[in-house]
Amino acid sequence: MLKDKKEVREVFSYPLLKALAHRRTRRFPLGCKMEEGTLKHTSKNPPVPLNDTETAILCWAGTGITGTIAADMPTNDVQGSMFTSWVGRTTPYACNVHNMKLFFTNDKGLFVYDPKKATKAVEIETEADWDKIAKYFKQDTVKLSDGRFAMIPETLVRIVHWNTNRPGTTLFMPILEISEEYLDAVIAVFMGEGYKVFDDIKGTSPAGIKKWVDNGTLKGPDVPLSSFEYTIFLGNLAPPFHALQNIQLMAEAMGLGSIIMTGYIGILALQSLGFRYSMAKEGSGAMLGLNPVGLDGIFESYQPPYYKTMNDAVDAFIEKKFGKNGMYTPNYKGMVPFSKSWKKVQPGYPVPSKKVIQITKDYCNYVFDTYGRFPATFDTIVMPEWLQVHHLEQEFYHKYGLDKLLNETHKKHMGLWHKQSGK
């Protein structure tokens, strides 16, 4: 059991403020070499990979289950029913749309970690709960391929070639799919604010919703398509950055080295991971051509080819939230924040009318038919940053007087976490 491991007990008692104060990027992994510049060093130690317990705790820190959300918003307002899950995670999401999956690669293979269910309001509350971290890691991690994922060298800037994705290291890659929250936001503004979205890329005409503007259904402000999409894009970018910050702070507490990086060409990295792409419609004026839309069977967005039409994609999203087994239904079987009063609270949540659903379909069809992509102005799937975690080549830091940046957690890490390695 994890509570019986001294190293795990020390991690759970490590002060957050201390982790913040000592957080540093420490780039030199065991078994690595830096051959250029005046800080040349070749490690005499073999690489040591993270063990399963280390990896499980880091994954949980990034996007693990924490229980249920509070959902403390007015139920009679459209924003009260913008949530798409009652389950809480260590990382916050816009409208609690869990639209990020944590991919990672090590010497064993390429994996994706995506835990789903909560069993109580505070999932990791007692020492006995710590074992859930290992349990969920085992049951909710899918192996995609054997062996370390080999990134195309050309996707990496040269300055990170020497230490990136080397033997013994673990590379964490949070990947974000934005179509789900895009649909959630579109439904909300048509249901509530009544935005009159117009296509400023093509001119000033309404974006497929002229009928609803003309008949007075939509009475809100005129909103440019490009600005509307940019706002959605920015609102969705937070989870990967929060996840990597959480993982890096956990690595600090555990005595591991880590580095957050953006030194790659994202579209090529996603291609080499096997993601499917669509092409923007020729002559559409779309600012971006290739659009990553999904990894078959693992991470599929709400658009063709995963749905026959955008109508089908909208219907699937509505069914997920408000359908027979949806989270806003009176007989929902999953965990809910108001378990003692769900029957009383549930009727207060607004449900999109058939008219709102049709407006949403008209808008989404316009975007997809006009530009051959959804959204029109940004990629559906993005990987904004990654983070590498590794065991530190401490001799390098002593050699160049950087040992003052090594904490007790680093100095005793191998003896605590890898007793059998002899280090």
pLDDT by residue (tens digit) across 377-405?
Answer: 999 999 988 999 999 999 999 999 999 99
Q: Identify the CA nearest to 151 among candidates 35, 265, 259, 48.
A: 265
What span, in angstroms and rounded, lies between the C-alpha atoms of 205 and 194?
16
For the chain, what is the domain count?
Answer: 1
Q: Identify the CA nearest to 251 among candidates 94, 61, 123.
A: 61
pLDDT by residue (tens digit) across 36-71?
Answer: 999 999 999 999 999 999 999 999 999 999 999 999
Helix, strand or coil for residue 107? coil
> What is the reported pLDDT for 423?
44
Residue 156 DSSP one-character state: B
Mean pLDDT of the chain: 93
> What is the reported pLDDT for 290?
84
Per-residue pLDDT at 222 exceeds 70? yes
Give me Rg for the CA atoms of the chain: 24
Q: Which of 139-143, 248-252, 284-288, 383-387 has the lowest mean pLDDT?
A: 284-288
Residue 404: give its domain's CATH number: 3.40.109.10
Q: Which domain holds residue 23?
A: 2-421
% of the chain beyond a pLDDT of 70: 96
> What is the reported pLDDT for 387?
95
pLDDT by residue (tens digit) across 2-31?
Answer: 989 999 999 999 999 999 999 999 999 999
